[in-house]
Amino acid sequence: MIGEREETKSEIIECFARHVSSGKAEFFTGAGINFVAGEREGIYLTDLDGQRLINCHCNGGVFNLGHRNPRLIAALQRALTKYDIGNHHLLSAPRARLAERLAALSPGDLKRVVFGVSGGEAIDLALKLARAHTHRPGIISALGGYHGHTGLALAAGDEAYRKPFEPLSPGFTQVPFGDLQALEAAMSADTAAVIFETIPATLGIAIPPDDFFAGARHLCDRWGAILIIDEVQTGLGRCGQVWGIDTYGVTPDIIVTAKGLSGGIYPITATLYSDRLDPFLHDNPFIHISTFGGAEVGCFVALEVLDILEEPGFLEHVRAMAALFEAGFASLLEKHPAVLVEARQRGLMMGLKLADPGFGPWMTVAGFQAGLLTIYANNDPSVIQILPPLIIQEDEAQQVLAILDGMLRGLEAAFC
C-alpha cells in the first residue's frame, strides 16, 4: 500500500513522470517545485519530506472545511456501514434528502437538483437544460472565464483550453466580464443562456461592478434567456453567504455547485435549477445520465458539509476572517506599493494583483519555500489567488499575512 514503505520523493516523481504526466513533472521540477503531497490535516498540506504548507489554494474551495475534516470522515464511515454508490437509475433516499437541503439553501424557486461527479459535468447539464428549455442555441459567457474541461463547459471557457479541440459546439459567444453594455449587445432572441462565475478565479478574482448581476438578470428577463451562475468556487460560504450570488441579491435560474460540496472527501456536484425549467427533465428523465453522479455515500458527506455550513456562527466566522484579511491587505498595500497594486476580495474569495504578469508565478514558487500554497490565476498571472480554508483561525490568518509580507519583500528584493 502507498505510504507503507518509505518511498523517496525522487522515486515518486520518476514514477509519476513515467505513467501519469511527464509534462506536469517537467513543469513542476523545472520551476523548482518538488512538492509531493503526503499527510494533510486541517489547513495544512505536508509533502513527503515533511515540508508543511498552509493551503491557501484549497483546489478552489474543495478544502473549504480543511483537509480530512473529522466530521466528514465520520459521515463517510457511517454511510459505508449501510450504503455504497447506489444505482443512479433508481429512486434514492440520500439523493432526495440532499436535494431537499440544497433547495432549502437556495434563493427563489431553485428547488430541483441534478447530481454529478465533476463541476464540468454539472455545467454541461446546466447548458443542456437551458438549450432544451428555450429551444435556442446561443450561450454567452465571459472572456477568460473558466467552467471546466468537458464539452459545453469547455466551449464556454477560455480560448487557450479549447482551441486544440475545435470544432466544438457552435453558438458560443464571449463578452468581457463585468461589461453590461457588451452583454446587452451580444444578446438576442437566439440567446438560450448567459453563464458567469460570480467571481472568476482563473481570470484573477475579478470583482464585477455592484450592479452587474442585477443588470444581467434584467437582460435575461428581457430576452427570455436563462441566467446560470457558476458557484463552483464561490459557493458554500466562500463569499460570506451561502452563495456568492446572494451577496449581490440576485436570483439566477440555475446555480452550479461542486468542489466544496465534496468536503474534499467524496466527489459530488449539483446543478440546482428553477421549478420553471423542470418540464423538459420531467418529460425526459433519462436524458442525462451519470453513473457516479450523486453517489449515495457522497450524499452523506455533502449533508454533513451543509450541516457545518448552517451551524450558527459559521458564516459570521468567514466574515470575521475576511475583515481580518482586508485590514492585513491594506497594510501590505501600504508597505509594498512597488509590487502590490490591488487587493481583490469578496469574503474569503481573495486575490492580490501584482505589478507584473511575471510576479504571480514568482510568488507561487516563493510560497512553496515560505510555507504557503497560493497559485497564480492562469488567465491573469499578475494575480495570486488566496482561498484559505473557511475554518482558518485568527492566529493562522495572521500567519498567512506575515508569510505574504515576507514573500512580497522577497519580490521587491528580486525585481525592484
Ligand X SMILES: Cc1ncc(COP(=O)(O)O)c(C=O)c1O
Q: Which is nearer to ligand X, 125 or 392 (CB)?
A: 125
Is 387 an interacting residue with respect to ligand X (CB under 6 A)? no
Contact 158, 201 (CB under 8 A): no
Q: Which is nearer to ligand X, 377 or 411 (CB)?
A: 377
Q: How far is the CB of 122 from ligand X (least distance, A)?
A: 8
Q: Which amino acid is at 238?
A: R
Of the candidate residues 146, 213, 243, 273, the single one contacting ligand X (CB under 6 A): 146
Q: How far is the CB of 146 from ligand X (least distance, A)?
A: 5
- Give the footprint of ligand X on residues 149-208 (CB under 6 A): 197, 201
Closest-approach residue to ligand X (CB): 119
Is 258 an interacting residue with respect to ligand X (CB under 6 A)? yes
Q: Cell 487587493 sits at which residue? A: 343
Is 359 an interacting residue with respect to ligand X (CB under 6 A)? no
Q: Which is nearer to ligand X, 223 or 266 (CB)?
A: 266
Contact 409, 336 (CB under 8 A): yes
Is 141 an interacting residue with respect to ligand X (CB under 6 A)? no
- Give the footprint of ligand X on residues 68-97 (CB under 6 A): none
Is 123 an interacting residue with respect to ligand X (CB under 6 A)? yes
Q: How far is the CB of 414 from ligand X (least distance, A)?
A: 30
- Give the footprint of ligand X on residues 216-245 (CB under 6 A): 230, 232-233
Is 116 an interacting residue with respect to ligand X (CB under 6 A)? no
Of the candidate residues 119, 171, 244, 389, the single one contacting ligand X (CB under 6 A): 119
Q: How far is the CB of 198 from ligand X (least distance, A)?
A: 9
Identify which of 145, 131, 148, 150 has the alpha carbon closest to the alpha carbon of residue 174: 145
Q: Residue 9: how many CA atoms within 13 Å on its side-chain side? A: 14
- Those residues whose C-beta lies under 8 Å from the C-beta of residue 407, and which sit 6 or more positions away, are 363, 366, 367, 370, 372
Q: How far is the CB of 121 from ligand X (least distance, A)?
A: 7
Q: Which is nearer to ligand X, 205 or 299 (CB)?
A: 205
Of the candidate residues 42, 120, 260, 388, the single one contacting ligand X (CB under 6 A): 120
By CB under 6 A, the count of residues binding ligand X is 14
343: β partners: 352
CA–CA gap between residue 12 and residue 67 (Å, rounded): 22
Of the candidate residues 38, 42, 60, 94, the single one contacting ligand X (CB under 6 A): 60
CA–CA gap between residue 265 and residue 243 (Å, rounded): 21
DSSP tag of 42: B
DSSP tag of 107: S
Identify which of 387, 353, 348, 140 has the alpha carbon closest to the alpha carbon of residue 244: 348
Q: Cell 451577496 sits at which residue? A: 247
DSSP tag of 32: T
Q: Residue 131: how many CA atoms within 13 Å on its side-chain side? A: 15
Cell of 375: 497559485
Positions in the binding site for ligand X (CB under 6 A): 60, 118-120, 123, 146-148, 197, 201, 230, 232-233, 258
